[in-house]
């Protein structure tokens, strides 16, 4: 079945540091890939997505590129801010096997950015 | 941006008791979902609901679980006889459509603690 593996946290960075959170996936079919973010006390929010190979999703300075050859969708940001402190979830949604209704998530990575 | 709202934010119950978790999806959305996250584990799909019936469910969603859209606005998850292992954060979500790249809107979750 489909699965997502993402970097174990927690990750602690200083403000303006470079961020990478690794994410790899296994899927039968042609999944869409997502990064969701959960700020303290809030629900999961879509951060960015990519729907086909070589697509780059971007939002709020975050980027991730859909790499089919390495089955990866790593999240990057060049200069993190304290306000980026949150839990980040990599996820996929596949159109194979009739299971296009569900998202498959990774465990989440807690990011803490210190001033 | 429109929001999915969930109540209560925290529910404590005794093992064997019934609980109902409540959600108000975004008003023009047609697809509704429940996910859960046991502490330290992945966010897991439970069930999707469309046109007043379950469209997909996971192995977790056994006979102890049920969902209902009792009126035009609420979407509920019922656990008939709670077990200790049902303790988790439960997320409700909704979407306009069911396409693979569709954005899901999540609520902030209900933390269920079964004692």
Question: pLDDT tens digit string along B66-87?
Answer: 999 988 789 999 999 999 999 9
> Exposure of A92 by Cβ count < 10 A (0-12 exposed, 13-18 middle, 19+ buried)?
buried
CA A20/CA A30 separation, integer angstroms: 24
Phi, psi of B83 (to 5 degrees): -115, 160
Nearest chain A CA: its distance from B112 CA (Å): 15
Quick one: pLDDT band at residue A96, thresholds 50, 70, 90?
A: low
Q: What is the pLDDT of residues B31-50, one digit of tens each?
A: 999 999 998 888 999 999 99
Which chain B residue's Cα is nearest to A9? B40
The pLDDT of residue B61 is 96
The CA distance from B52 to A21, in Å, is 39
H or E element that contains B92: strand B88-95
Residue-wise pLDDT for B3-15, tens only, equals 999 999 999 999 9
Q: Look at residue A8 in the predicted model and tell me its pLDDT.
A: 83
Question: Which of A44, A100, A107 has its CB closest to that of B42?
Answer: A107
Interchain contact B98–A (C-beta under 8 A): yes
Cβ–Cβ contact B29 with A under 8 A: no
Interface A:B, Cβ pairs < 8 A: 68
A1 interfacial to chain B (CB closer than 8 Å): no
pLDDT tens-digit readout, A40-87: 888 889 999 999 999 999 999 999 999 999 999 999 999 999 999 999
A93–B contact, CB cutoff 8 A: yes
Tally the residues of chain B: 115
A3 secondary structure, DSSP code? E
What is the rounded distance in angstroms from the CA atom of residue A44 to the CA atom of residue B35? 11
């Amino acid at each position: 079945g489909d699965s997502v593996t993402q970097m174990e946290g927690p990750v602690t960075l200083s403000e303006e540091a470079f961020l990478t959170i690794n994410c790899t996936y296994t899927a039968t079919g042609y999944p869409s890939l997502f990064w969701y973010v959960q700020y303290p006390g809030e629900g999961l929010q879509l951060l960015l997505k990519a729907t086909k190979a070589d697509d780059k999703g971007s939002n709020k300075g975050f980027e991730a590129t859909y790499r089919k050859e390495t089955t990866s969708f790593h999240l990057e940001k060049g200069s993190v801010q304290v306000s980026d402190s949150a839990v980040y979830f990599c996820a996929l949604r596949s159109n194979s096997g009739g299971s296009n209704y569900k998202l498959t998530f990774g465990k989440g990575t807690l990011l803490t950015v210190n001033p | 941006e429109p929001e999915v709202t969930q109540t209560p934010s925290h529910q404590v119950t005794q093992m064997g008791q019934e609980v109902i978790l409540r959600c108000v999806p975004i008003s023009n959305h047609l697809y509704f979902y429940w996910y859960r996250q046991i502490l330290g584990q992945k966010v897991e799909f439970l069930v999707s609901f469309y046109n007043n019936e379950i469209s997909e469910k996971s192995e977790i969603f056994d006979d102890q679980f049920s969902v209902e859209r009792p009126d035009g606005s609420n979407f509920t998850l019922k656990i008939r006889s709670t077990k200790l292992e049902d303790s988790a954060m439960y997320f409700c979500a909704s979407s306009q459509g069911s396409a693979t790249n569709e954005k899901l809107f999540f609520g902030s979750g209900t933390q269920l603690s079964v004692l």
